[in-house]
Amino acid sequence: MSRAIEIPAADGTIDAYILTPGSAEGPLPAVVLFTDIGGLRPCYHEKAQKIADNGYAVLMPNVYYRDVSGLVVPEGKSFRDPDVRPTLFEYAGHLTPEAQTRDFTALLKCIDHEPEFAAGKIGTVGYCMTGAFALRMAAEHPDRVAAAAGFHSANLAKADDPNSPVHVVGTIEARVYLGHADKDELLPPDQIARVDEALAKVGVHFTTELYKGAAHGFTAKDAPSYDAAADALHHKRLAMLLEETL
């Protein structure tokens, strides 16, 4: 079950979707799902619905609402196509930490006012570039976020990057799960070690898992790197995290 919604925000109007189980009654615990760099598209609607079917109300915003509404990647094209990637990187460049902060506030207000969402703490999950979003939202709203997950996350701890989320994890109260692609050029071993060290140093309850043999983007069904076994494991791990926290 899915319905489109428009969310007032400081920088405009966020087009988003709320997904719930078809048989659900009453408000359900909220999970915010941030898409990967390809934005809203069918494989992410499917992913969000699968999460919702476990008993949650999933809020999936268009992270690129400042530039475009709805589908970002034209039908029949791939976010990996050379004539599409530059546009995506341009839009992604607008998603500064400050912009994310303003969006988090708008998303939480939506959760507080829409009938699908139960009162109480929420979960966040991000993919590729938005693994960092999930961590940052947990850090900025420790009183609201009980679970934060990232899968095939990108650039979580680039050396000398002042915008890296490793600099803000000290305020996280949520349980954290990070599922990494093996040999991921966007999150090499030195970055994984840096993230783990930062989380451990401040006492965050976290789990890091390396999906051996999986490539970056292993959960995206429309990507050549899609790995069905790794995708199934990601859903299993996420379901466990949400069940134990929400």
Angle at 242 between CA 40 and CA 198, to 5 degrees: 85
DSSP assignment, residue 167?
Answer: G
pLDDT reading at 73 higher than 80:
yes
When pLDDT is averaged across residues 209-220 and rounded to a whole number, the result is 95
When pLDDT is averaged across residues 189-207 and rounded to a whole number, the result is 97
CA distance 53 to 30: 12
**pTM score above 0.85:** yes
CATH assignment of the domain containing 140: 3.40.50.1820
Q: Are 145 and 168 in contact (CB under 8 A)?
A: no
**Total domains in the fold of the chain:** 1
Retrieve residue 43's tokens: 């494989």
pLDDT reading at 198 higher than 90:
yes
26 vs 142: which has the higher pLDDT: 142
When pLDDT is averaged across residues 50-77 and rounded to a whole number, the result is 92
**Residue 103 backbone dihedrals phi, psi, to 5 degrees:** -70, -40
pLDDT reading at 72 higher than 70:
yes
Cβ atoms within 10 Å of 232's Cβ, excluding its own: 11
- Domain range for 84 is 2-245
